[in-house]
A and B are shown apart, each in its own frame.
Chain A
Amino acid sequence: MHYLLTVIGDTTNEVDDSEPGAVDAFNEQLKTDGRWVFGGGLTSPDHATVTDNRSGAPVFSDGPFVESKEYLAGFWVVEADDLDAALQLSAGASKACNRKIEVRPFDGLA
């Protein structure tokens, strides 16, 4: 199965206080173990643009789609046999980036 590991950022504490190199080492491990699908950090939600083309005339507007204290700071897509395996990876991810992680399965990958 594929799982999305979402890094939960916090607007009240935006400093990256992860240990230097920890995320790189975690990524390398994922690749070595054949768990890596894709991943990356995102810039601040301030830099987000929202596109709405539901009516056929695209409207672009500034800002994140939802204002909240917690935001999406980055993510991994990993390959894991089941939730227990994904949770184990997420524990490593949380430690590496020093953030909370949400784990959600993909309902199939395109």
Chain B
Amino acid sequence: MTDLDEIITRVHRDEWARVVATIARRFGDLDIAEDAAAEAFAIAVERWPADGVPPNPGAWLTTTAGHKALDRVRRESKRGDKQKQAHMFTEQTSGPPDPLGAVDDERLRLVFTCAHPALAMEARVALTLRMVGGLTVAEIARAFLVQETTMGQRITRAKAKIKAAGIPYRVPEVEDLPARVDGVLAVLYLVFNEGYLASSAETDPIRADLTGEAVRLTRLVRELLPEDGEVAGLLALMLLIEARRSARVSTHGELVTLDQQDRGAWDRTLIDEGHALVRERLRSGEPPGRYQVLAAINAVHTDARDARDTEWSQVVALYDQLVRLDPSPVVTLNRAIAVAELDGPHVALAQVDALAEPLDGYHAFHATRADLLRRLGRSADARAAYDRAIDLAGNTAESAYLTRRRDELGAGQ
């Protein structure tokens, strides 16, 4: 890669969302903004090698995209395409100032519009990655294993609904903000999780492109909403998980569980940053939301230099707090895993067995049961549970790990 390629890549990463957001605001149309931004970057790729990189690349791109957008609007109005004009989203110039210490940045409007609850979750994810993240439709299609045309249609439909249904281009009202921020974070967390534990056997078990993109976008949202505790919590959570990435899969492509990981291979810089965020939230004295509690749990794990030094009583106490915020069976399952370390596998197994009905189709339920049964010496039951878990697991590293564990059980019991 030449220096110029690197510069263009960096400028694309840093400026894409701002260009799209600014044009969207000015022309009241996401579709126009997306096309104009893409055209502006294409022109940059063409011209910068000869003309040199402009002193302010972001401003150059915004101006160029603005001209392209204007050209298109003129072309369409000449054709009498009045439909477009009628559905432009209305610009909100007044509105409440400074909700939650929000930075006045066009990109914040873009983030909230792309993650609007009136859009289906898969459309929100695709739109956020395209409009805010600047990924191409082909890249997003590959990330979610769908045809490029399918992904293109998904994004087109979402843009059409935004226009036709009158989804506003603005930061939500203060009273709606917590719920709407939660919606944005759900999108980012979904992208991160798909990278952290890919759900399909057809991809790499860990996809650093997706976790990296999720971290980058969460950093951006944190920059835009610096006072929001859950934003800080989600960023901390991602950093503390991302820090362990290289230790999570062995050279043979097998999942390495937390207790077996080489803690020296963890990324200390990310851990320190994550811990600092968790401490910042503790100091705030505000009651934490679920991402903050999850981050705190991961902080306890990453605090221990050796798995045996883990403060399990603290982990269980944090899970108790999490269960109060989110009493879902999956949270109860994760709590039981910590309980096994504190009170033994027998106590944990009773709690896990109580979740059989809601979690029967969830591979982690059977994997957890299998491990507890193994520790209790119930090899035949453990084997059956491993079989179920292997059947349900999509991730290749996880399947490899579970298969080895099953095959290590003594035969014929």
Q: CB-CB < 8 A to A87: which residues of B? A: 118
Whether a CB of chain A sits under 8 angstroms from the CB of B192 is no
Complex: chain B residue closest to A3, CB-CB: B166
A interface footprint on B85-127 (CB within 8 Å = 1, 0 otherwise): 0000110000000000000000000000000101000000000
Whether a CB of chain B sits under 8 angstroms from the CB of A45 is no
Whether a CB of chain A sits under 8 angstroms from the CB of B165 is yes
> Once the chains bind, are A107 and B166 in contact (CB under 8 Å)?
no
- For this complex, into which size category does the number of interface residues on chain B fall? 10 to 19
Complex: chain A residue closest to B173, CB-CB: A84
Q: CB-CB < 8 A to B165: which residues of A? A: 83, 103-105
> Once the chains bind, are A86 and B164 in contact (CB under 8 Å)?
no
> Once the chains bind, are A82 and B176 in contact (CB under 8 Å)?
no
Q: How far is the CA of A10 from the CA of B89 in the complex (A)?
A: 34
> Once the chains bind, are B90 and A81 in contact (CB under 8 Å)?
yes
Within 8 A of B (CB), among A94-110: 103-105, 107
Whether a CB of chain A sits under 8 angstroms from the CB of B167 is yes
Contact of B167 among A3, A82, A107 (CB under 8 A): A82
- For this complex, into which size category does the number of interface residues on chain A fall? 10 to 19
Within 8 A of A (CB), among B162-180: 164-168, 172-173, 176
> Once the chains bind, are A105 and B164 in contact (CB under 8 Å)?
yes
Known: A82-B89, A82-B90, A84-B176. A1 touches B118 (CB 8 A): no
Complex: chain B residue closest to A86, CB-CB: B166
Q: CB-CB < 8 A to B116: which residues of A? A: 83
Q: How far is the CA of A103 from the CA of B90 in the complex (A)?
A: 19
Show the binding face of A for B, using Cβ within 8 Å: 1, 3, 80-84, 86-87, 103-105, 107
Complex: chain A residue closest to B162, CB-CB: A83
Q: How far is the CA of A87 from the CA of B166 in the complex (A)?
A: 11
Complex: chain A residue closest to B167, CB-CB: A83
Q: How far is the CA of A81 from the CA of B94 in the complex (A)?
A: 13
> Once the chains bind, are A82 and B164 in contact (CB under 8 Å)?
no
> Once the chains bind, are A82 and B118 in contact (CB under 8 Å)?
no
> Once the chains bind, are A84 and B172 in contact (CB under 8 Å)?
yes
Q: CB-CB < 8 A to A1: which residues of B? A: 166
> Once the chains bind, are B118 and A105 in contact (CB under 8 Å)?
no
> Once the chains bind, are B118 and A83 in contact (CB under 8 Å)?
yes
A interface footprint on B139-178 (CB within 8 Å = 1, 0 otherwise): 0000000000000000000000000111110001100100
A106 to chain B, nearest CB (A): 10
Q: CB-CB < 8 A to A84: which residues of B? A: 167-168, 172-173, 176
B174 to chain A, nearest CB (A): 13
Q: CB-CB < 8 A to A105: which residues of B? A: 164-166
Q: How far is the CA of A107 from the CA of B87 in the complex (A)?
A: 10
* Closest A-B pairs by Cβ, 7 of them: A82-B168, A82-B166, A83-B166, A83-B167, A1-B166, A83-B165, A105-B165
Q: CB-CB < 8 A to B167: which residues of A? A: 82-84
Q: CB-CB < 8 A to A82: which residues of B? A: 89-90, 166-168
Q: How far is the CA of A83 from the CA of B169 in the complex (A)?
A: 10
B191 to chain A, nearest CB (A): 24
A35 to chain B, nearest CB (A): 14
> Once the chains bind, are A81 and B168 in contact (CB under 8 Å)?
yes
Q: How far is the CA of A1 from the CA of B89 in the complex (A)?
A: 11
Complex: chain A residue closest to B116, CB-CB: A83
Q: How far is the CA of A1 from the CA of B87 in the complex (A)?
A: 10
B342 to chain A, nearest CB (A): 43
A16 to chain B, nearest CB (A): 28
Q: How far is the CA of A3 from the CA of B167 in the complex (A)?
A: 12
Complex: chain B residue closest to A87, CB-CB: B118
